[in-house]
């Protein structure tokens, strides 16, 4: 995979390989044989940070029509007070050394929760092994945000192994692999015929405001925001409909000199509620009066699940091309490393 000179650690290949990661993650999941049986699970908590935590958000959205118990994502050192012996806590840390996740692991033990984990190794894996909890080991060597497939798919297998979800999601992931294995060659092209490249060219000198829809594309908006920040080193912001119609829509009135430097990215799906579609249309019109750069983004796929994963992949490419347009290496995250060093000193 050819890369730009500025892309010293080949983030382009990591993004291009997303369909391959999904396939490898499926194979890892198929080999998972749980040692423990979880009993009377009444709620699920995924605890993690950054690229590991968003895997839980994505699973929550993918499984919204299937899961019969609540699932929340915990981004903190401690777990909710209501966590107890009927809670399944999934500890997700790509490195295995995320301090918030390790502390939450101890809190889960103290609360008597049923525990399992996903990691490449590190202290988390050692704790899970010592305490005889189930865990899935994933491949190391990637940036956590580029290892999304290894956060999402193993989590699905953990839930499937306990009868909490069925097998249909894995068919959708297989179909996603087939689709993206074709489209990624277009998205990797450095020209304006590539829609991810042309969108990046339009927005890279602005502040992207990404609007999704609650329960569907909002999780993708969150992912896009994180990718703009980490890959392209750009500030970005996200929100969701219909909530933003009840507050944020009024915020487009003042500070016009700042608003003129923003771009609005509307993430749409074919299955959106008709009232949501109408809200989007009206809101776009209201914002259009401010002469804001707006784009509507929707992608192909035979199911909502496939389109969600496709839209995530599309956004990863947009953030990559923004980095290239900025002459920014898309891999290093120096402020995060500085923060970790100062915290540990």
The predicted-structure confidence for 46-95, as pLDDT tens digits, reads as follows 999 998 999 999 999 999 999 999 999 999 999 999 999 999 999 999 99
Average pLDDT over residues 180-200: 97
Q: How many residues does the chain have?
A: 345
Ordered strands of the 237-241 beta sheet: 237-241, 207-213, 262-267, 293-297
The residue ranking higher by pLDDT, 108 or 345, is 108
Q: pLDDT at residue 1 above 70?
A: no
Q: In this predicted structure, what is the pLDDT of residue 2?
A: 53
Q: In this predicted structure, what is the pLDDT of residue 272?
A: 93
Which residues touch 234 (CB under 8 Å, ≥6 apart)?
Answer: 204, 207, 208, 228, 322, 326
Confidence grade of residue 344 (pLDDT, cut at 50, 70, 90): confident
**In whole angstroms, how far apart are CA 297 and each of 138, 194, 266?**
32, 14, 6
- Across the chain, where does the E strand assignment appear? 43-47, 71-74, 87-93, 114-119, 134-137, 207-213, 237-241, 262-267, 293-297
What's the distance, CA 233 to chain centroid?
17
Q: pLDDT at residue 30 above 60?
A: yes
Average pLDDT over residues 146-162: 97
Structure tokens belonging to residue 156: 């699905």
Average pLDDT over residues 226-243: 97
Q: Tell me, which fold does domain 194-325 have in CATH?
A: Rossmann fold (3.40.50)
Q: pLDDT at residue 4 above 90?
A: no
**Do 295 and 202 contact (CB within 8 A), yes or no?**
yes
Q: In this predicted structure, what is the pLDDT of residue 13?
A: 97
The residue ranking higher by pLDDT, 334 or 328, is 328
CATH 3.40.50.10490 domain extents, the chain: 11-172, 194-325
Q: In this predicted structure, what is the pLDDT of residue 334?
A: 87
Active site residues: 230, 246, 340
39: helix, coil or strand? coil
d(CA 23, CA 152): 12
Q: pLDDT at residue 185 above 70?
A: yes
Q: Tell me, which fold does domain 11-172 have in CATH?
A: Rossmann fold (3.40.50)
Confidence grade of residue 251 (pLDDT, cut at 50, 70, 90): very high
- Is pTM beyond 0.85 here? yes
Q: In this predicted structure, what is the pLDDT of residue 3?
A: 62
Confidence grade of residue 244 (pLDDT, cut at 50, 70, 90): very high
- Across 40-189, where does the E strand assignment appear? 43-47, 71-74, 87-93, 114-119, 134-137
Structure tokens belonging to residue 31: 């080999």
């Amino acid at each position: 995979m050819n890369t730009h000179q500025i892309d010293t650690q080949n983030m382009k290949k990591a993004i291009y390989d997303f369909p391959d990661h999904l396939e490898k993650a499926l194979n890892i999941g198929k080999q998972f044989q749980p040692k423990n049986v979880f009993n009377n699970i009444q709620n699920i908590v995924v605890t993690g940070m950054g690229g590991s935590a968003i895997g839980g958000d994505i699973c929550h959205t993918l499984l919204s029509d299937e899961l019969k118990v609540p699932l929340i994502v915990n981004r903190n050192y401690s777990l909710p007070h209501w966590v107890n012996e009927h809670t399944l806590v999934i500890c997700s840390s790509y490195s295995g050394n995320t301090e918030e996740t390790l502390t939450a692991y101890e809190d889960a033990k103290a609360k008597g929760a049923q525990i399992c984990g996903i990691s490449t190794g590190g202290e988390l894996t050692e704790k899970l092994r010592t305490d005889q909890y189930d865990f899935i080991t994933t491949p190391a060597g990637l940036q956590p945000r580029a290892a999304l497939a290894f956060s999402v798919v193993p989590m699905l297998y953990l839930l499937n192994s306990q009868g909490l979800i069925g097998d249909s999601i894995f068919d959708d992931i297989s179909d996603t692999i087939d689709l993206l294995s074709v489209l990624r060659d277009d998205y990797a092209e450095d020209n304006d015929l590539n829609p991810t490249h042309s969108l990046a060219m339009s927005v890279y000198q602005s502040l992207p405001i990404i609007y999704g829809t609650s329960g569907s594309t909002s999780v993708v908006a969150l992912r896009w925001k994180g990718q703009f920040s980490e890959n392209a080193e750009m500030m970005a912001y996200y929100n969701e409909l219909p909530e933003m119609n009840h507050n944020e829509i009024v915020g487009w009135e003042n500070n016009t000199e700042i608003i003129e430097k923003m771009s609005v990215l509307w993430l749409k799906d074919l299955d959106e509620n008709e009232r949501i579609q109408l809200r989007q249309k009206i809101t776009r019109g209201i914002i259009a009066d401010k002469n804001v750069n707006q784009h509507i983004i929707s992608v192909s796929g035979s199911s909502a699940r496939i389109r969600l994963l496709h839209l995530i992949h599309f956004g990863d490419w947009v953030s990559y091309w923004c980095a290239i347009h900025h002459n920014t290496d898309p891999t290093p995250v120096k402020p995060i490393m500085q923060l970790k060093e100062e915290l540990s000193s």
